[in-house]
Each structure stands twice: as structure tokens, then as C-alpha cells.
Amino acid sequence: MDFLAQVLAWFTDPANWTGNNAIPLRLWQHLSLSVVSLAVGVAIALPIGLYIGHTGRGARFAVAVSNIGRAVPSLGWLGIAYPISTGLFQRAGIGFLPAFIGLVALAIPPIVTNTYAGLRAVDDELREAARGMGMHELQLLMRVEVPVALTVILAGIRVSAVAVVATAPLAALVGGGTLGAYILQGLALSDEVRVFAAAVMVALLAILTELAFAWLQRRAVSPGLAAAGDASWVEPPQLPAGPAIVPS
Amino acid sequence: MTSSAAVVTLDHVSKRYGPAGTPPAVSDLSLTIPAGEIVVLVGPSGCGKTTTMKMINRLIEPTTGRITIDGEDVMRLPAVELRRRIGYVIQQVGLFPHLTVAENVAVVPRLLRWPETRVRDRVEELLDLVRLDPATYRDRYPSALSGGERQRVGVARALAADPPLMLMDEPFGAVDPILRDRLQNEFLRLQAQVRKTIVFVTHDVDEAIKMADRIAILQRGGILAQYDTPDAILAEPASEFVSRFVGADRGLKRLSLGRVRDLALTSPTTARVGEARADVRRRLDEAGAEYALLLDESDKPIGWIERRDLSGDDGVTPDDATPGSPTLQPESTLRDALSAMLGSSVQLGVVVDEAERVLGVVSVDAISEVLRAPAATVR
Ligand SMILES: Nc1ncnc2c1ncn2[C@@H]1O[C@H](COP(=O)(O)OP(=O)(O)OP(=O)(O)O)[C@@H](O)[C@H]1O
Ligand SMILES: [Mg+2]
């Protein structure tokens, strides 16, 4: 009780709401880093997944990407990205860039794998019907394959988004701010209250992200696919490297 | 290809999936599919029916040979435009699960950028045509339809842009026999209205006989075994393969193509209620007949009277007649007629019009005559 009261006191302490270590500032750093990383991750991964899924070419590439994604831990990405970015810009301590590169790399694999697996799971008869009715390849992709595979594609983005939000605190290690800054400070000062308060905020953000995507999925996916008995997306094919991430 | 029905020709068309030297899936196939007719491609599994059909809309490109639609070489047309002008019903129906019934039907009109009001009107019209109440079905998703309803939506979707040519790959393959029969009948009724050129694939001989104006029987390797009207194929199978394929009961199958109206009716000796028996006897003697057909005042048949029951001089009464001679309509198939006659004692069928007035009688002999006759006397 006492501990929770201290946490509450930390949140209500006016000192934590102003200056260059203020909660709104850290939240803003956290969210902007997450959103930008995810957006760039989607912009890179989605076209790759769509291309591989639509053409069936380069499936081995998709598998390799997902293997790398699985093998390298989040902290590893940061460790890789830090020297690269400082090497690139010859300026140590610019925290945003290495964190950004690391998070983008983290976001890409689930989106590529799920997009690929989702498209591959679309029944061939739908492709044949679409082509037979005179759709161009791009029309087939955008009007049939993507809408039918949307649940699985969005599930990939959702997994990436949650991972990015939950991993963004590591940016603090390279001077990138975010809610992770409180955690570093708290560890250095043995201030458990501060560590706990930051962890709570990170967890809440992750949960909100999850909920936002659940809502988006309900809004965006056709009700015709939600109906029982449609197997075209419920069981995407297993990739050799492991299953796609399917919404629970 | 802008008229309401197109002529399709296949000119020495071959398709080989493998490299040169491997056996072809379709071999040197030449066919002319007349405008407004249903041509059924039939044959055992793997004989190249689907391959042949898909070469027409270029889902598969022929290895050699030429296919034309109304004289235009399909290979010279952009594939996408060609396909938008050909209705296509795939074997598994292939409705888009994320689109409603109305949106599924509207796919090709929207690809063709029809104005929305025209699309909406057309969707209503087509759902009516395939007997799905638009108000009930328009906004449903395919997952909420029965198998038969899906098949109908598939047909409506293929008809949407009013194509002069329809390709249908086993369109009624996935439903039970009773529903299939109903869908076939509905489709024939529909075709009588729309008069498209239709290429219809099936591996079911009975379906082929029922649906076809002409049947192309293919043999493994896509070799054309026979191309003719159903009656001609049943009457004179061109080869051992064809006669085995159409089945040993091809005589009976042929009978289901013929109608009672195609037979020459004979006039029976008739009798009226109240007429003197002696008069009826005299007429039977003159005609050399054993039975007279008893009619009531409005020419409706009551039953047959046998000569030996006509002794004495009283008037004929309805009780003298043995009832139960089957009545047939001009539209009855010869198969149904024969079956009914075999079940009656007199073995004659009485043909009546809508008001049940007697038009004439047919005999079992007249029907077996048809079976002996060469093709084209039936139908
Ligand atoms: N894409 C393909 N690649 C290689 N061979 C093929 C391909 N498609 C069909 N074939 C072969 O070509 C032959 C004809 O196939 P097709 O699908 O036209 O037969 P079908 O008459 O439609 O058979 P079914 O009644 O079983 O549908 C078969 O031997 C088949 O194995
Ligand atoms: Mg086939």
C-alpha cells in the first residue's frame, strides 16, 4: 500500500510534469519514436510481403527475414544499430537514430511473414475467378487478396506495434529518451518507485496499442470473413521457419 | 463480339503443358461453336475439358492453333478486356467472401466503370433472373448462402455485363442431384430468355445430354471423339469409346430427348357413352381393332373397351370401360411415355391437350420405331 501510495505521489508530483524530464515529454518521445518506427517498418515490410505473397516469388527471402527477426533480440538490434548510426553520422550520442533503426528492424519481420502467409492462404479459386473476370494483377491484389487476408496482415502489424512500443524504452540506453529514461534513472538512483511508474506507463501503452488494433481489425475486416466456417484465413499455411502470428 | 451471342471457333488447337515431346493435354482440336447454342464439353477426368475452356478466355495459352470469337483472334485482344466480355463460372463457384452478394454480382460492371445507378439496377435485375429475392439476398455474404444459392449468384455474376459468351466449368458440380436437376432446369429456362453462346463443361453424360444443343466428347489427350447433337451421338456413336462413354442404356437416354409431340399420333376407334354397342362393334371390325376408346360428352377419355365385352345391343355405359390408360401430354418425354404405357394393360398412350381432350394415341411400337430411326427424327 505504502509503495503504491508513493507511486501515486510520484505521478502527482508537479516536478515530474515540467522541465526536460517531464512525463509529457517522455511520453511524446516514446510515442513519436514508436509511431515513426512502425510507420517506416510498415512502409518497408508491407510491399515486400505483398510482392512475395502475390507472386509466390522470394518465399525463401521471407523465411530468412523472419529467422533473423526471431534470432536477434531487441537489445541486439540496438547494439547493431548504434555503431552503424554513429558510424554513419560520426556523432555519438544522437539517441533517436540508432533506436529508430533498431525498432524498424524489429517491426519488419512479423509484417513480412504475416502478409506473405495471409496472401498465400487465399484460395486459388478466388484468384482464378478474379483473373477470369478480367481483373489486372494489381486489382486482384487490392480488391481480392488483401481484403481476404486482411485479418492476418493486420495481426502482423499489431504484433509489430506492440513489440515496438514495449521495446522503445531501450532507446534510453543510447540517449534516445522515451519512458525508458525513467527506468535508467530509477536503476541508477535505486528509485524503485520511478522504475515502477515508468513500467506501468509502458504496459498501459502496449495494452492501448493492442486495443486500438483490435478495434481497427473489427472495423476494417469484412463481416463476410468474420462469419463462421470460412477457412481462407483462419489457418494460414505454416512457414518452414514457424507459424505466422494469428490473432488470438 | 458486341451482339447478344458470339461464334467461337477453335482451329487446330493444341496445348502441351510440358516440353516438346510430352503428351499434349489437348491435341489438334477444331470446333465451331455456333452463336446462341449450348455446347457441352464432356469426357473422362483429365481429358482436357478445363484446359480447352480456359484457352478460350486465355487463362491458358494454346501451344499451337488459333481461337477466334466472332472472327477475332483472342490472342490479339488484351487478355483483361477479352475476359471482361466473357462470363466465367468456375468449378468451385469462387464467390468473393469479403463482398456481399450484390457486390459480387457487380464486380465486372464496376471493372467496366458503369455508373453506380446502372450497376444497382443490373444487380436487382440479375438477382430476379436467378430467382433470388434482391431484398433478402442483396446484402448477405457468401458464407450465409446455401450451396445452391451460391451457384446461382455465381451464374448471376457471370451474366452481369451481359456477355455474348459464357464459360461454365461444372457449374452444378457441387450440389445434390435434386438441386442439380432444378438448377439445370432453371438454367435452361434462363438460356431460353438470354440466348448466349455457352461452353459448358461436365463429366456427367446425363447432364450433357440434358443441357446440350451439341456435345463435344473428348478423349484422354484432348482428342475430339465426336461432336454432334445429343440425339446423333446417342443414335450413332462414332466409336467404341463414345458408345462406352454414353453408356449401354443410350437407347433409353435417347428417349428422354424425344417428346410425344414428335410422334405421328394415330386416331383410335372411339365410342361414346350411350351409343349402341352394335355400332361400336361394326367400327372396330372395320378398323380391325380390338379396343375402342370411350369418351365422355366433352371428349375426355374414360377408358378402353375390349371387343369381347361389347356383346348385346344395349347402349355403352362408363362401367364397360377399363380405366387406367395413362394420359400423356405432347410435352411428355418419350421415356416417360414408354414407362407409363408399359405399366398399363392396353400398352397404348392416350395423348390429351390442356383441356384433357383426346388428340390421338401412341403405341409402344411407334416409340421403338423412333429408336430404330437414324438421328434427327427425334427432337
Ligand atoms: N497447369 C498444369 N500443368 C501441367 N499439367 C496440367 C496442368 N493443368 C492440367 N494438366 C494436365 O492436363 C490434362 C488435362 O487437364 P484438364 O484440367 O483440362 O482436365 P479435365 O478434363 O478438366 O479434367 P477433370 O474432369 O478432372 O476436371 C491432365 O492430364 C492434367 O493433369
Ligand atoms: Mg476440369
- In Å, what is the CA distance from B276 to each residue of B270, B283, B288, B320? 12, 11, 19, 13
Q: Report the number of distinct structural domains present in chain A.
A: 1
Beta-carbon contacts of residue B148 (< 8 Å; ≥ 6 apart): B175, B179, B182, B183
**How confident is the model at residue A234, as a pLDDT?**
39
Nearest partner of B376 among B254, B209, B211, judged by Cα: B254
Separation between Cα atoms, residue B2 and residue B114, nearest integer Å: 16
Name which of A130, A228, A232 is nearest B97 (Cβ-Cβ): A232
Contact B252, B205 (CB under 8 A): no
Nearest partner of B372 among B283, B277, B292, B255, judged by Cα: B255
Is the Cβ atom of B349 under 6 angstroms away from ligand 1?
A: no
Mean pLDDT, chain A, rounded, equals 84
User: In this structure, is residue A243 part of a structural domain?
Assistant: no
ipTM of this complex = 0.82
Higher pLDDT, B86 or A19: B86
Cβ neighbours, 10 Å, residue A60: 11
At residue A227 the predicted structure's pLDDT band, cuts being 50, 70 and 90, is: low
Separation between Cα atoms, residue A218 and residue B189, nearest integer Å: 43
Higher pLDDT, A111 or A66: A111
Is B82's pLDDT higher than 90?
A: yes
Domain of residue A167 covers 2-8+24-238
User: In this structure, is residue A15 part of a structural domain?
Assistant: no
Is B126's pLDDT higher than 60?
A: yes
Mean pLDDT, chain B, rounded, equals 88
Supply φ then ψ for residue B191, to 5 degrees: -65, -35
User: In this structure, is residue A17 part of a structural domain?
Assistant: no
The share of chain A scoring above pLDDT 70, in percent, equals 86
Contact A180, A34 (CB under 8 A): no
**How confident is the model at residue B3, as a pLDDT?**
46
Name which of B59, B89, B98, B199 to mutate to probe chain A: the one with the most chain A Cβ atoms within 10 A of its Cβ: B98
Question: What average pLDDT does range A184-195 have in this prediction?
Answer: 91
- In Å, what is the CA distance from B170 to each residue of B84, B95, B158, B194, B282? 20, 15, 14, 20, 60
Contact B44, B51 (CB under 8 A): no
Name which of A124, A131, A133 to mutate to probe chain B: the one with the most chain B Cβ atoms within 10 A of its Cβ: A133
Q: What are the chain A neighbours of B81 within 8 Å (beta carbons)?
A: 134
Instruction: Give the β-pairing of B291-295 and B270-272.
Output: parallel
Angle between helix B177-194 and B147-159 (nearest 10) = 20
Is A243's pLDDT higher than 70?
A: no
Contact B51, B26 (CB under 8 A): yes
Q: What is the dihedral angle through the alpha carbons of A59, A65, A70, A74, rounded to the nearest 10 degrees?
A: -160
Q: pTM to 2 decimals? A: 0.79
At residue A87 the predicted structure's pLDDT band, cuts being 50, 70 and 90, is: low
Separation between Cα atoms, residue A177 and residue A21, nearest integer Å: 9
pLDDT (tens digit, 9 = 90+) per residue, B206-246?
A: 899 989 999 999 999 899 999 999 999 998 899 999 999 98
Element (H, E) at B301: strand B301-306
Q: Which residues of A62-98 are buried (b: 16+ CB within 10 A; e: fewer)?
A: bbebbbebeebebeebbbebbeebbeeeeeeebbbbb
Cell of B188: 435452361
Separation between Cα atoms, residue B341 and residue B15, nearest integer Å: 50
Cβ neighbours, 10 Å, residue B353: 11
Separation between Cα atoms, residue A34 and residue A216, nearest integer Å: 18
Is the Cβ atom of B96 under 6 angstroms away from ligand 1?
A: no
Record: contact B108-A134, CB cut-off 8 A: yes
The share of chain B scoring above pLDDT 70, in percent, equals 97
Cell of A121: 492462404
User: In this structure, is residue A16 part of a structural domain?
Assistant: no
Separation between Cα atoms, residue A177 and residue A233, nearest integer Å: 40
pLDDT (tens digit, 9 = 90+) per residue, B287-342?
A: 888 888 888 888 888 888 888 888 877 888 888 888 766 788 888 888 888 888 88
Is B157's pLDDT higher than 60?
A: yes
CATH number for the domain spanning A110: value is 1.10.3720.10
Name which of A133, A230, A232 is nearest B108 (Cβ-Cβ): A133
Measured at the CA of B218, the angle between CA B217 and CA B222, to 5 degrees, comes to 160
Is the Cβ atom of B17 under 6 angstroms away from ligand 1?
A: yes
User: In this structure, is residue A102 part of a structural domain?
Assistant: yes
Nearest partner of B222 among B205, B237, B236, B201, judged by Cα: B201
Separation between Cα atoms, residue A37 and residue A53, nearest integer Å: 23
User: In this structure, is residue A14 part of a structural domain?
Assistant: no
Q: What is the DSSP-derived secondary structure letter of residue B267? A: P
Contact B204, B216 (CB under 8 A): no
Domains annotated for chain B, with CATH where assigned, are: 8-253 (3.40.50.300), 261-377 (3.10.580.10)
At residue A228 the predicted structure's pLDDT band, cuts being 50, 70 and 90, is: very low
Best substitution site from B42, B51, B54, B199 to test ligand 1's pocket, by max atoms within 8 Å of Cβ?
A: B51
User: In this structure, is residue A82 part of a structural domain?
Assistant: yes
Separation between Cα atoms, residue A127 and residue A116, nearest integer Å: 15
**How confident is the model at residue B68, as a pLDDT?**
95
Q: Please indicate if any CB of chain B lies within 8 Å of the CB of A134.
A: yes
Separation between Cα atoms, residue B194 and residue B163, nearest integer Å: 10
